[in-house]
Structures are given as structure tokens and as C-alpha cells.
């Protein structure tokens, strides 16, 4: 079914599973990705800020230029870290899909094997029933023959 935007329900459900953009970071990984992003950013920012301040003091660079250098470093790093986070999450998502597909395929294979075993058991039961029916038929024929012989002997 299409909504007013022309998107199907499946498209909307698919888009609802992701953050930032359709096909972006899966919602279930948003918190771990965010915390990892913040931890890495804080570590890198601390390293850059302390390094730039030390370097600026040694060389006598004005504070404004040092601040500009820090801002440039952190901006570039933020963009790079954002891209790497999305790529990592997408890669992890693909791996998870592969592992889920592999697990589902294994479960289906096991179900098929169980179904084959049950089918074989049913075939064996049917064969046993056929053999029992054949034995009963032979007993009935034997009983008829004995009955006929007994009638002939009594006559």
C-alpha cells in the first residue's frame, strides 16, 4: 500500500529502522556508536588540544591561530570519525545479516533433515502395516484352506 508520498509500508518500515538517513546507522546500534564516537572524540580532542597548545607556546604562535588550528583538526576529525562510524556500522550490519542468514539456513537444513527422517519413519511404518496386512491375508487364506480341508474330511 502506498501513502501520500508514494512510499510503500515496507519502505517506511525500512526507513524507520535507521537513524540519520535511510540505510544509515541501525537504531539498535545508535547508543554504542554514539558512546564510542564520544569517547574517541574526547580522547583525540584532548590529545590535539594539549599538543597544539604546547606547540603554539614553543613556537610563539598567537592564541587565535592555535585555536583555529585546533578547530580545523577537530572539524576534520569529526567528519572522518562520522564517516568511519557509519561505514563500521554498515559493515557490522552486513556481517550480522550474513550470520543471521547462515543461522537460518542451518535451521532450515536441520528442519529438512528432520522432515526427511519423519518421512522415512512413516514409510517404514507403512511398509510394516503392509506386511502385517499381507500376513493377515495369508492367515485368512490359510484358515480358509484349513476350513475347506476340514469340510472335505468331515464329508
Q: Which residue has the higher pLDDT, 29 or 126?
A: 126
Contact between 55 and 65 (Cβ < 8 Å) = no
What three-state secondary structure class fits 19? strand
Q: How far apart are CA 41 and CA 48, in angstroms?
A: 10
| Rg over CA atoms, the chain | 39
pLDDT band of 4, cuts 50, 70, 90: low
Task: Name, in order, each residue with C-beta under 8 angstroms of 27's C-beta and a sequence gap of 6 or more.
Answer: 17, 18, 19
Reported as a single tens digit per residue, the pLDDT across 38-73 is 999 999 999 999 999 999 999 998 999 999 999 999
- Cell numbers standing for residue 30: 545508535
Amino acid at each position: 500500500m502506498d501513502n501520500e508520498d508514494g512510499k510503500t509500508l515496507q519502505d517506511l518500515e525500512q526507513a524507520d529502522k535507521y537513524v540519520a538517513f535511510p540505510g544509515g546507522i541501525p537504531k539498535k546500534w545508535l547508543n554504542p556508536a554514539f558512546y564510542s564516537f564520544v569517547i574517541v572524540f574526547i580522547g583525540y580532542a584532548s590529545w590535539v588540544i594539549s599538543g597544539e597548545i604546547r606547540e603554539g607556546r614553543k613556537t610563539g604562535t598567537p592564541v587565535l591561530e592555535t585555536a583555529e588550528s585546533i578547530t580545523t583538526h577537530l572539524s576534520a576529525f569529526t567528519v572522518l570519525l562520522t564517516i568511519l562510524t557509519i561505514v563500521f556500522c554498515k559493515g557490522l550490519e552486513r556481517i550480522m545479516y550474513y550470520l543471521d542468514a547462515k543461522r537460518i539456513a542451518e535451521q532450515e537444513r536441520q528442519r529438512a533433515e528432520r522432515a526427511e527422517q519423519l518421512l522415512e519413519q512413516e514409510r517404514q511404518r507403512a511398509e510394516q502395516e503392509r506386511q502385517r496386512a499381507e500376513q493377515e491375508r495369508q492367515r485368512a487364506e490359510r484358515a480358509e484352506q484349513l476350513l475347506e480341508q476340514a469340510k472335505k474330511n468331515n464329508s
